[in-house]
Chains A and B, each alone.
Chain A
């Protein structure tokens, strides 16, 4: 008898709580995922597809779902991984690929035949030109995604690392110079 009562009471509790939770899950239904936007803000927006997704947003969506690792974005570098880990409370993992210095594409304008293939490939509209006319890259807009390299039939596009100049120079972290104390000569 006792055991039946116990079972009945527990069952009652389960039913009541289950109903409450079911109601809540309808009432507090989450639509869309604002997290995607936060993740996307961290991604470098090169739209390079090196993560295996067609652009930064799909990758952000996949991360938000929890389908993929956070270390697939080489342009974002370790810093990006660290930021994502921080946002999502996940472990920092080493980058899945080699970290490259920031680059931009340069078109050798003498070799360019004006085929417009690179213009179509550029995800961020950083290449200007017209058919049979020389193309050129708008340097400040180039994200260095390298997507314009494969379609070029004459291989006139190369990547160049961005060098330090007066405009992008940064103050260095103050380093204390350690000088070796002069040796005291034994008398």
Chain B
């Protein structure tokens, strides 16, 4: 297995504490009293609930429908009755509630009809959609919907597919055990990813403190005759970060602003590959996952746990010590204390650590930064945490971005080495979420502005259209009336005939002048105004025209002649007043 490995700068070596939970094989956790399944378990859109309180569900039945492409479906972890669809506290540092489906198990654990598929007979689109429907998400902790990562970049050829079995965080052993015991299915799952992405190479990175896992994976790869490379990488936190592992195995650096496929590389966790294979070959959606239960417990062990199992109940299986005072979800470097023992296990839960002051003594108070630079040496992303800290602390967020705060992966190396015990990562999280909030506000404001401007434009346009319509109608009417008048006059052959003909031509002439003045006007606003003016003028004419010859048919010839005469005189004297058109449009005021 000769391979040139690359290095990333920095990194730390915290005590691994992995052996405690490696002694026993994976155990199936018993059915809990009830399951609280959050609908939002992956990055992206929140799935819509498709069940109601009182519904009977079977294991693997869809309960939350994916909302949009970046979103993954959620399924009932066991058979039973839906008690409620309601807000429950989440395994999230905020301790806030979110929509959950609460299921009371009936104890039968009865599956829906599982339909294994032959993925090679399907198009890649169908496979991706199948994975979305099965709720397959990245189980390394980021829970990004897997199907969204299975499209190669159109412009950059896929060079490497990196499979992450590094598991660098202390205490956690669930991936280790998975590779030891279920290597074959993991490798088959990797095969699916390989077929979808068509990379040139597949590299499986495993930290060199897991020789058994590496051996098992190698055996499985050989047994299945796959050309995958199992690479042992040096044990160094955070070698299991996707970007770090990509760097170690391929030498490529993925900046925050780019996707890894843009560099021709993609990374998946081993557990993701496993669940993908279960979904395809067994028709089983993701309803359970491996969770390491360790820390201040009598019997640390890995359990296969149904999603939605309350963490407190799971912890009881491992016999927590009496001085346990909390549960940490995730490892000691990146994990957080869950707000309540009632919170459920979710797809992102890879480890529960029983917390006690003996195991994790409280940190001494924060001291001032002495700019020793230890954090910069430890940072695996070659950032300058002390600078980012300075500006995050001063809430100077623009400067933090200048120091590339969004390249920070919050691995906690800087906080780990800080001699002043400054919780650097907390400052960075604070700064990041503030920047995001601002970004959200800004986008909302921009959207509001665009809609406001569009509304104004629309109002304007509607006004113009209305005016135009009226103008057209009026012009048509005017033309008709003028023609009628001319015809009437011609029929009578009276001496005033030329006058009324002149009136008709004047209508046309005025329309023409309006037209002429309108042509040089370029922008829509002027156009609209002109149109309004033209409309008003035409309306004025039309009204005048419409007013007088109303009942000409019934008039005697003398009267008609008289009227025509008066009309002609009025025309000549320009007595026609635009104010006559008053109710038609206020725009007529602008004619002068």
CB–CB under 8 A between A and B in the complex?
Answer: yes
Assess whether B40 is in contact with A166, with CB atoms less than 8 Å apart. Answer: yes
Give bound CA distance, A124 to B446, whole Å: 11
Question: Beta-carbon contacts of A90-112 to B below 8 Å, as 1s and 0s?
Answer: 00000000000000000000000
B-chain residues with CB within 8 Å of residue A174 when the two chains form the complex? 366, 423, 426-427, 430
Within 8 A of B (CB), among A134-163: 140-141, 143
B-chain residues with CB within 8 Å of residue A41 when the two chains form the complex? 442
A-chain residues with CB within 8 Å of residue B259 when the two chains form the complex? none
Question: Beta-carbon contacts of B431-459 to A below 8 Å, as 1s and 0s?
Answer: 01110110011101111110110110000
B-chain residues with CB within 8 Å of residue A184 when the two chains form the complex? none
Contact for B455 among A43, A123, A169, A173, CB less than 8 A: A123
| Chain B CB within 8 A of A168 CB | yes
| B427 and chain A: residue at smallest CB distance | A174
| Chain A CB within 8 A of B98 CB | yes
| Chain A CB within 8 A of B342 CB | no
Assess whether B430 is in contact with A172, with CB atoms less than 8 Å apart. Answer: yes
Give bound CA distance, A43 to B445, whole Å: 8
Closest Cβ of chain A to B11, distance in Å, is: 24
Assess whether B452 is in contact with A45, with CB atoms less than 8 Å apart. Answer: yes
A-chain residues with CB within 8 Å of residue B384 when the two chains form the complex? none
Give bound CA distance, A176 to B442, whole Å: 31
Closest Cβ of chain A to B68, distance in Å, is: 14
| Chain A CB within 8 A of B365 CB | yes
Known: A165-B96, A165-B98, A166-B40. A124 touches B448 (CB 8 A): yes
Contact for B449 among A56, A164, A168, A169, CB less than 8 A: A56
Question: Beta-carbon contacts of A161-187 to B below 8 Å, as 1s and 0s?
Answer: 000111011111110100000000000
Give bound CA distance, A125 to B432, whole Å: 31
Assess whether B432 is in contact with A123, with CB atoms less than 8 Å apart. Answer: no
| Chain A CB within 8 A of B94 CB | yes
A-chain residues with CB within 8 Å of residue B40 when the two chains form the complex? 166
Give bound CA distance, A172 to B95, whole Å: 13
Known: A166-B40, A170-B437. A55 touches B452 (CB 8 A): yes
Assess whether B98 is in contact with A123, with CB atoms less than 8 Å apart. Answer: no
Assess whether A169 is in contact with B366, with CB atoms less than 8 Å apart. Answer: no
Give bound CA distance, A168 to B433, whole Å: 9
Assess whether A169 is in contact with B430, with CB atoms less than 8 Å apart. Answer: no
| A170 and chain B: residue at smallest CB distance | B433
Assess whether A166 is in contact with B90, with CB atoms less than 8 Å apart. Answer: yes
Within 8 A of A (CB), among B233-259: none
| Chain B CB within 8 A of A114 CB | no
Assess whether A45 is in contact with B448, with CB atoms less than 8 Å apart. Answer: yes
Assess whether B445 is in contact with A45, with CB atoms less than 8 Å apart. Answer: yes
Give bound CA distance, A44 to B442, whole Å: 8
B-chain residues with CB within 8 Å of residue A166 when the two chains form the complex? 40, 90, 92, 94, 96-98
Contact for B451 among A56, A125, A164, CB less than 8 A: A125
Contact for B429 among A43, A46, A56, A171, CB less than 8 A: A171
| Chain B CB within 8 A of A71 CB | no
Assess whether A176 is in contact with B366, with CB atoms less than 8 Å apart. Answer: yes
Contact for A141 among B93, B430, B433, B451, CB less than 8 A: B451
A-chain residues with CB within 8 Å of residue B365 when the two chains form the complex? 176
Q: Which of A40, A43, A124 has the most CB of B within 10 A?
A: A124
Give bound CA distance, A141 to B444, whole Å: 7
Give bound CA distance, A40 to B40, whole Å: 36
Contact for A44 among B90, B96, B429, B445, CB less than 8 A: B445
Assess whether A47 is in contact with B98, with CB atoms less than 8 Å apart. Answer: no
Give bound CA distance, A43 to B448, whole Å: 11
A-chain residues with CB within 8 Å of residue B96 when the two chains form the complex? 164-166, 169
Question: Beta-carbon contacts of B207-230 to A below 8 Å, as 1s and 0s?
Answer: 000000000000000000000000
Assess whether A171 is in contact with B90, with CB atoms less than 8 Å apart. Answer: no
Closest Cβ of chain A to B443, distance in Å, is: 11
Assess whether B448 is in contact with A141, with CB atoms less than 8 Å apart. Answer: yes
Give bound CA distance, A165 to B98, whole Å: 8
A-chain residues with CB within 8 Å of residue B440 when the two chains form the complex? 168
Q: Which of A40, A43, A44, A126 has the most CB of B within 10 A?
A: A44
| A75 and chain B: residue at smallest CB distance | B445
Assess whether A169 is in contact with B427, with CB atoms less than 8 Å apart. Answer: no
Closest Cβ of chain B to A132, distance in Å, is: 21
Give bound CA distance, A41 to B443, whole Å: 10
Known: A44-B445, A143-B448, A166-B92. A171 touches B430 (CB 8 A): yes
Give bound CA distance, A170 to B441, whole Å: 13
Assess whether B92 is in contact with A141, with CB atoms less than 8 Å apart. Answer: no
A-chain residues with CB within 8 Å of residue B441 when the two chains form the complex? 44
Contact for B446 among A45, A169, A173, CB less than 8 A: A45
Closest Cβ of chain B to A81, distance in Å, is: 15
B-chain residues with CB within 8 Å of residue A143 when the two chains form the complex? 444, 448
| A176 and chain B: residue at smallest CB distance | B366
| B446 and chain A: residue at smallest CB distance | A45
Give bound CA distance, A159 to B233, whole Å: 57
Closest Cβ of chain B to A26, distance in Å, is: 26
B-chain residues with CB within 8 Å of residue A141 when the two chains form the complex? 447-448, 451
| A169 and chain B: residue at smallest CB distance | B94
B-chain residues with CB within 8 Å of residue A140 when the two chains form the complex? 444
Give bound CA distance, A171 to B424, whole Å: 13
Assess whether A171 is in contact with B426, with CB atoms less than 8 Å apart. Answer: yes
Q: Which of A41, A164, A170 has the most CB of B within 10 A?
A: A170
Assess whether A47 is in contact with B447, with CB atoms less than 8 Å apart. Answer: no
Closest Cβ of chain A to B89, distance in Å, is: 10
| B430 and chain A: residue at smallest CB distance | A171
Closest Cβ of chain B to A60, distance in Å, is: 11
Question: Beta-carbon contacts of A25-43 to B below 8 Å, as 1s and 0s?
Answer: 0000000000000001101
Within 8 A of B (CB), among A1-17: none
B-chain residues with CB within 8 Å of residue A172 when the two chains form the complex? 430
Give bound CA distance, A56 to B448, whole Å: 11
Closest Cβ of chain A to B101, distance in Å, is: 16
Closest Cβ of chain B to A158, distance in Å, is: 20
Within 8 A of A (CB), among B66-118: 90, 92-94, 96-98
B-chain residues with CB within 8 Å of residue A125 when the two chains form the complex? 451, 454-455
B-chain residues with CB within 8 Å of residue A176 when the two chains form the complex? 365-366
Closest Cβ of chain A to B123, distance in Å, is: 34
Q: Which of B92, B395, B429, B448 has the most CB of A within 10 A?
A: B448
B-chain residues with CB within 8 Å of residue A45 when the two chains form the complex? 444-446, 448-449, 452
Contacts A/B (CB < 8 Å), 9 sampled: A45-B446, A47-B449, A165-B98, A169-B92, A170-B436, A171-B426, A172-B430, A174-B366, A174-B430
Contact surface of B with A, Cβ cutoff 8 Å: 40, 90, 92-94, 96-98, 365-366, 395, 423, 426-427, 429-430, 432-434, 436-437, 440-442, 444-449, 451-452, 454-455
20 additional contacts, CB 8 Å, given A126-B451, A166-B92, A172-B430? A45-B445, A45-B448, A45-B449, A45-B452, A47-B452, A124-B448, A141-B448, A141-B451, A143-B444, A143-B448, A164-B94, A166-B40, A169-B94, A170-B434, A170-B436, A171-B93, A171-B430, A171-B433, A174-B427, A174-B430
Q: What are the 3 tightest A-B residue pairs by CB atom distance, in nearest-first order?
A: A45-B445, A171-B429, A170-B433
